[in-house]
Structure 1
Amino acid sequence: NSNRFMLRALLAQLGCEVTDFGIVADDLEVTRKVLRDAAQGHDLIVTSGGVSVGEEDHVKPAVEAEGSLDMWKIAMKPGKPLAYGRVHAAAFIGLPGNPVSSFVTFLLMVRPFILATQGVNEVVPQAVMLRAGFDWPRPDRRREFLRARMMADGSVALFHNQGAAALNSTTWANGLVDVPAATAIANGDPVRFLPYGDLLW
C-alpha cells in the first residue's frame, strides 16, 4: 500500500486538501459508490490501480458509469494504463497500480494538471541536456522515463533496476531521463534529464 502514502504526501506538498477514502474493495458497485462520494465537495479524484483490463479492475467501468472517461492508456513507460475523465463535477485521474508507474505519472501528469488549476503558468518541467553515463541498447516503442542520478562529473547514471515495482529507484534517483520512443542510447550520448527539483517542488 505504498502508493497511498506516497500520493498523499505528493498532493499535500502541492497544497491540496486530501481526503483519503482508503482501499476500495474489488467490486464494481462499491467502486461506483466511492467515486460518487468522492465527487461531492472535491475538485479532483486520484486513484491508484484498477484502471487496467483485469477481471477485478473496476475503476474504468465505474468511471464510465458515473461520468465520462475521456482518455485511457498512453504510449509511456512506465505508466501506460493512465486514465482521465470526469465523475460528476470532479475531474478524475486514474494512475497505474505499480509504485514506480504511479510515481512517474503523478510527476509528469497529475502535478502539471494541479498546478494549472491553481493558476500557475509554467507547469512543464524544464529538461537539461547531460551526457549519458550508460548504455540503453533496447529501445521501446513507447516514450520512456528512466530513474537516474546526475553525477558530480556532469554525467547521468541509471538505477540498476528500471522495473515498475522497484520503488527504491525513485529515492536513489534525483531525476528522470526522458527517452523518446524507439530510441537507443549509447554511453556519451546527450540525453534530456528532468531533475527532481523541477518535478517535486
Structure 2
Amino acid sequence: MSETELDTAANCGDDREPALLPVDEALSRIRAAITVVPDRERVAVRSALGRVLATDISAPGDVPMHTNSAMDGYAFAAGSLPDADTADLTVVGTSWAGRSFDGEVGPGECVRIMTGAVMPAGADTVEMQERTDRDGDTVRISLPQKPGNHVRYAGEDMKSGTAALPAGRRVTPADLGLIASLGFGEVDVWRRPRVAFFSNGDELRSVGEPLRLGDIYDSNRYTLYGMLTRLGVEFLDMGVVRDDPDAIREAFTSGARCADMLITSAGASVGEADYIKDTLDELGEVDFWKMALKPGRPLAFGRVGDTPFFGLPGNPVSVMVTFYQFVRPALIRMSGETETPRYRFRARVRGGIRKRPGRTEYQRGRLTQSTDGSLEVGTTGDQGSGILRSMSVSDCFIVLTAEQGDVADGDWVVVEPFAGLV
C-alpha cells in the first residue's frame, strides 16, 4: 500500500475525509469574496452608536483646550512657597468652571478653584480643599507641594490633529462621548448591510400553524433574526419557501435584488427533494462544501448574481455554529469594521470530552471559576446538532481542533465565550 493510500484509508477512530474543507481555508475563501458596502451615511452623533465609522476622526484642537484644575481646591505657584511645614496664603478670588479668574496669582496668594476651571495666570499647582484649613480669606496648606499637582494640561488627552478614532471602528458609548468632546455633531458611517433570509422545506411550519405528522416549527428564522439583530444589520425575513422550483427561483431572485447578502437554512445539503443546487446553478455561482466541522458539515457559499450567498444547514445548532463562525465574520467585513482576532482563552476541562480526530468541533460549554480563581469548562451534555437547548444553556464554545482526539479531565482546551459574540 502506498503512503498516499495509508493517509486516506478509512479509520474507525477518526472523522477524516479527504474531501473535507478545513475551517481556515473556508474562512480565507469567504474573506476574499466579501467587500465593504459601497455607501456612506452622515448621521447625528447619538445615532452613530453601534455604527462603523467610514472616515477617521481627528481632534480639531487640543483636548482639553485649556490647562485646568482636576480638583476643587486652591491654585497657587509652588515655586513661591516657603521652606517650612505649612504656608498661609491669601485668597484673592475664585476661578469657576466656565468663568475664570481674570487676575494673576502672586507670591503668598491663591485662588479658590473648581474642577475643570481654567488655571489662573501665575498658578501652577492645586491643593484639594479637603487638605486645607481656611479661616476667612486665609488658607493654610501643608508643605512641600509638588509642582503641577492636580492640574490637567491643555492637550493632555489629545493634541490638535491627533487621530481620535479610526475608520472601521464600531462606535461604543465611550466613543460617543469622545466624539462630542471634540465638538462634532455628525459623523460619516458605512451603510448597514441588508440581509435577506428564508428557510426551505415542505416540513417547516411557522409558529401558530398546526403541525401534521412529520412537520416541525421553523426555529431557524428566529435564531437568524436574533443573530442579525445583535449584529446591527438591516434584514428582510422572507419566511418559509416550499420545495418548489418556481418558488425557490423567485425567492432567490427577489432576495438578491433587494439585499447585500442572502442566507438560507436547510438548503446546504443536496438531496432528491432539494432544488437549491439546480436553482443556484442557473442564477449564480455557488460551491457546496463539506466542511471539516462539527456541527455544520454542509455549507454552501457563493453568489446569486452579484449578491453573496450562504446556504446554512437545517439543524438548529448547525445554523448557529456556521453563522457565528462564517457568516458573522463576513458581515463584519461587509460592514466596513476592522477585523480583529476572535477572543479566545484556555480553561481546564471538567469531566473530559469524547472526540475523534478529523474535524474542528464547537462543543457547547459552561464556564465556572474554581476556588483558586482559575477557569474551568464543561460541556452542556448531549452535543447533537438538533438540540437547540444546548446553545440556550451554554455560555461558550469549546473549540477542539481537527487534530485533537479525546480530552481528559483536567486538560487545557480553547474556549470562545459568547459574551461579545452571541
1:182 shift after superposition: 4.0
- Structure 2 unaligned blocks of 5 or more: 1-217
Which of 238, 243, 256 aligns to 1:21? It is 238
1:37 shift after superposition: 0.7
Instruction: Name the counterpart of 1:172.
Output: 393
- Matches of 1:128 and 1:61, distance apart in 2: 42
Instruction: Name the counterpart of 1:193.
Output: 415
Structure 1 residues 89-128: aligned runs within 5 Å: 89-128=306-345
Task: Say whether residues 1:138 and 2:359 are aligned partners.
Answer: no
Instruction: Name the counterpart of 1:149.
Output: 366
Q: Are the aligned partners of 2:268 and 2:288 in contact in 1 as well (CA < 8 Å)? A: no
- Matches of 1:89 and 1:123, distance apart in 2: 26
Identity in percent: 37
1:140 shift after superposition: 4.2
User: Is the alpha carbon distance of 1:64 and 1:72 closer, same or farther for their aligned partners in structure 2, counting shifts above 3 Å?
Assistant: farther
Q: Are the aligned partners of 2:288 and 2:298 in contact in 1 as well (CA < 8 Å)? A: no
Instruction: Name the counterpart of 1:88.
Output: 305
- Deviations along 1:40-89, whole A, 9 cap, x unmatched? 12100011002212212222222222100145221100011111100012
Which letter maps to 2:262? I
Task: Say whether residues 1:163 and 2:380 are aligned partners.
Answer: no
Instruction: Please identify the structure whose Cα radius of gyration is greater.
Output: 2
Which letter maps to 1:195? P
Instruction: Name the counterpart of 2:151.
Output: none
1:118 shift after superposition: 0.9
- Structure 1 unaligned blocks of 5 or more: none
Instruction: Name the counterpart of 1:49.
Output: 266
TM-score after normalising by structure 1: 0.94
Q: Please, which moves more after superposition, 128-137 or 185-194?
A: 128-137
Q: Segments of 4+ in structure 1 off by > 4 A?
A: none
Q: Are the aligned partners of 2:269 and 2:288 in contact in 1 as well (CA < 8 Å)? A: no
User: Is the alpha carbon distance of 1:124 and 1:33 closer, same or farther for their aligned partners in structure 2, counting shifts above 3 Å?
Assistant: farther
Q: Please, which moves more after superposition, 98-107 or 67-76?
A: 67-76
Aligned residues: 200
Q: Are the aligned partners of 1:112 and 1:123 in contact in 2 as well (CA < 8 Å)? A: no
Instruction: Name the counterpart of 1:40.
Output: 257
- Deviations along 1:125-160, whole A, 9 cap, x unmatched? 221011111312332421111000111221101011
TM-score after normalising by structure 2: 0.46
Q: Are the aligned partners of 1:84 and 1:92 in contact in 2 as well (CA < 8 Å)? A: yes
- Matches of 1:83 and 1:167, distance apart in 2: 21
Larger fraction in helix: 1
Q: Are the aligned partners of 1:100 and 1:165 in contact in 2 as well (CA < 8 Å)? A: yes
- Deviations along 1:149-180, whole A, 9 cap, x unmatched? 11122110101110001100001100101111
